[in-house]
Amino acid sequence: MDAPNELDGGRTMFDYGSAPMQADRGVGWKVVRSFGDVFQAADGVWYLSSPEAVTFAARHPEIFASGPAFEFLGSPVPLVPLAIDPPDHRRFRKVLDPLLAPRVVNELDVQLRQQIADLVARVAGSGRCDVMADIARLYPTSVFLTLFGMPATDRDMFIDWVETVNSGTAGAEPTPEVAAAGQQLFGYLQAFIDQKRAAPGDDMLSHILSLTGDEAWTDAEMLGMCFLFTLAGLDTVTAAIGFMMSYLARDADLRRRVVADPAAAATFIEEIVRLEPPAPTTVRVTMADTEVCGVRIPAGSMCQIAWGAANRSPERGDHADRVNLDAPDVGHFGFGSGIHRCVGSHLARRELRLVLEEFHRQIPDYQLADGFEPRVVFPSATYHFSELPLTFAVGPS
């Protein structure tokens, strides 16, 4: 059957960039879902928007391939493991999954807690802060440098490079500034890989470099993994911190419950990742003709797996578009699904929990700055706020 493209009684082709995402993703994803479980947009890209459709794609990587989908980025190194398909994909995940397991994250807890505590302490006495600039922009990079055994003093330089590279348009000719930042970032990462190879430590990078024989990674694979973590793993946590704090700033009752109850806090984090996934779509290319939810997608089609739309499906009931701390745990697609499910999900959860705990230990009560309404940057590969100003009392209450 043909893909349904009917909207409001007229023949309207979907344009993702026109979806009303800035103020309310619930409204935006409802528009996406209104075109059907599977449909073709005006630009020829196919969208999969329902839980059934995205689950099918995630379970069939032999049909919905990742590698060809990321060729448009023009990366000079393989983006490990995101752009690697089976059977090679398993070789990389077999190494990375244990290095980012909860046990390993637990061992970093003291360091990571101190890092966020120090950032919050810098603004706690001022009566106001911009969560994005003062906390969310800085903390994930500090965590990354710790994980990879890189100097904490390189944080600001590292952030500048990453933000400049991410400001470029995928597939387009990079500006001189973007190209220069990319070269500097590549050079830094390569030099650090060489340094760790000569003098390994007790960090993730050194563990991977210690592999030998058939398990050993090439320099290009190492560089690709580092490059992917910096470009795709930092801004997503930055964005999630902003979403988390915006919900709590606008709902004092929710904030009090989350702060008082660790179990509620854990559920809240899952709900934020469900409602506001920073990377709400994932690109794939079909390697064969296939049928999903009754719709035929030809081989060679570019597809967007719309996790964000599936996460808010009406199948979740009355709370599909709201935080529900009492909902049964039925899972979500906020970290993706299938073999490419986010390799850093355990670390991301820990970062969000530590931000919750340490921010509220020092600043228990706050609100959005007067007149400010959070709006996401859209269209964008990563949904995020550019700013999130808070105000709060200083000193004993």
**Domain edges within the chain:** 6-319+331-379+387-391
Find out if CATH 1.10.630.10 is the number for domain 6-319+331-379+387-391.
Answer: yes
Query: According to the model, what pLDDT value does residue 111 have?
Result: 97
Are the C-beta atoms of 292 and 38 separated by less than 8 Å? yes
Q: Find the helix packing angle between 235-250 and 262-275, rounded to 10°.
A: 120
Q: What is the pLDDT of residue 233?
A: 85
pLDDT band at 224 (very low <50, low <70, confident <90, very high): very high
pLDDT of residue 247 exceeding 50: yes
Q: Give Cβ neighbours of residue 119 (< 8 Å, ≥ 6 apart).
A: 134, 135, 138, 139
Bridge partner residues of 47 (DSSP): 39, 304
pLDDT at 330: 85
Of residues 2 and 88, more confidence is placed in: 88
Residue with the larger pLDDT of the pair 163 and 297: 297
Name, in order, each residue with C-beta under 8 angstroms of 382's C-beta and a sequence gap of 6 or more: 166, 235, 236, 239, 278, 279
For 360, the token pair is 């509220």
pLDDT at 329 over 90: no
Of 287, 271, 390, 383, whose CA–CA distance to 325 is shortest? 271
204 within 8 A of 147, measured Cβ to Cβ: yes
Q: 3-state class of 49 per DSSP?
A: coil
pLDDT (mean) for 118-144? 98
**Type of residue at 12:** T
Which residues, 6 or more positions from 276, have their beta carbon under 8 angstroms from its beta carbon? 25, 239, 240, 243, 383
- Please classify residue 156 by burial: count the beta carbons closer than 10 Å to its beta carbon, then call 0-12 exposed, 13-18 middle and 19+ buried: exposed
Residue among 99, 87, 80, 83 nearest 218 (CA): 80
Q: Which two structure tokens, joined as six digits, stand for 73?
A: 């980025």
Torsion, Cα 90 95 97 98, to 10 degrees, reads 140
Taking a C-beta distance cutoff of 8 angstroms, is the pair 336, 282 a contact? Answer: yes
Helix axis angle, 88-99 relative to 219-232, nearest 10°? 60
- What strands, in cross-sheet order, belong to the sheet with 389-391? 128-130, 389-391, 367-368
- Quote the percentage of the chain above a pLDDT of 70: 95
Residue 276: name the closest of 22, 14, 18 by CA: 22
CB atoms within 10 A of CB 383: 25
* Reported pTM: 0.95
Helix (H) or strand (E) holding 367: strand 367-368
Mean pLDDT of the 61-71 span: 95
Mean pLDDT of the chain, nearest integer = 93
- Measured distance CA(136)–CA(125) in Å, rounded: 18
DSSP state letters, 243-297: HHHHHHHH-HHHHHHHHH-HHHHHHHHHHHHHHS-SS-EEEEEESS-EEETTEEE
pLDDT (tens digit per residue) in 348-397? 999 999 999 999 999 999 999 999 999 999 998 899 999 999 999 997 65
Cα separations in angstroms, 200 against 16, 51, 148, 187, 344:
46, 44, 11, 19, 22
The pLDDT tens digits of the residues spanning 167-184 come to 877 667 889 999 999 899
